[in-house]
């Protein structure tokens, strides 16, 4: 607990030349509206990056329990990412014309190309 009553992660970075908030990120629960908004903000500030880059940006200030799952959930629900990674449209095949499906003798129709 810090002086403001927030739960922070301790670690082995006490001697590192980093700001205090980077050495001791806030500990956040695995689910919740606030956590989803924080994860979404990190995802959008990283320009809709993938799971690893979004998680790295998120962990600069926060430590989310089951953070990878929270980031995956955010990316799956991101409209911009879904639009970018969407499958291409596969058109329906049309029916064959009658001349192609009628039985005929071999070489009944011959064409030449000059």
Q: Which residues of 35-52 are buried (b: 16+ CB within 10 A; e: fewer)?
A: beebbbebbeeeeebeee
Residue-wise pLDDT tens for the chain (114 aa)?
A: 778 888 888 888 888 888 888 888 899 998 899 999 999 999 999 999 999 999 999 998 999 999 999 999 999 999 999 988 888 888 899 999 888 888 888 888 788 887
CB atoms within 10 A of CB 14: 10
> What pLDDT, on a 0 to 100 scale, did the predictor assign at position 12?
82
The predicted pLDDT at position 70 comes to 96
DSSP assignment of 2-17, as one string?
A: -TTS--B---S-TTSS
pLDDT given for residue 40 in this prediction:
96
Provide the pLDDT for residue 90: 87
Residue of 45, 3, 55 whose CA lies nearest to 24: 3
Q: Is 22 within 8 Å of 30 (Cβ atoms)?
A: no
């Amino acid at each position: 607990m810090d002086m403001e009553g927030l739960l922070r992660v301790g670690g082995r970075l006490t001697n590192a030349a980093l700001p205090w908030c980077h050495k001791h990120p806030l500990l956040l629960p695995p689910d919740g509206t606030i956590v989803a908004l924080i994860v979404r903000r990190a995802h959008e500030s990283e320009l809709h990056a993938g799971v690893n880059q979004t998680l790295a940006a998120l962990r600069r200030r926060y430590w989310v329990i089951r953070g990878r799952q929270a980031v995956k959930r955010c990316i799956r629900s991101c409209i911009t990412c879904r639009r970018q990674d969407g499958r291409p449209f596969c058109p329906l095949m049309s029916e064959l014309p009658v001349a192609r499906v009628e039985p005929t003798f071999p070489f009944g129709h011959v064409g030449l190309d000059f």
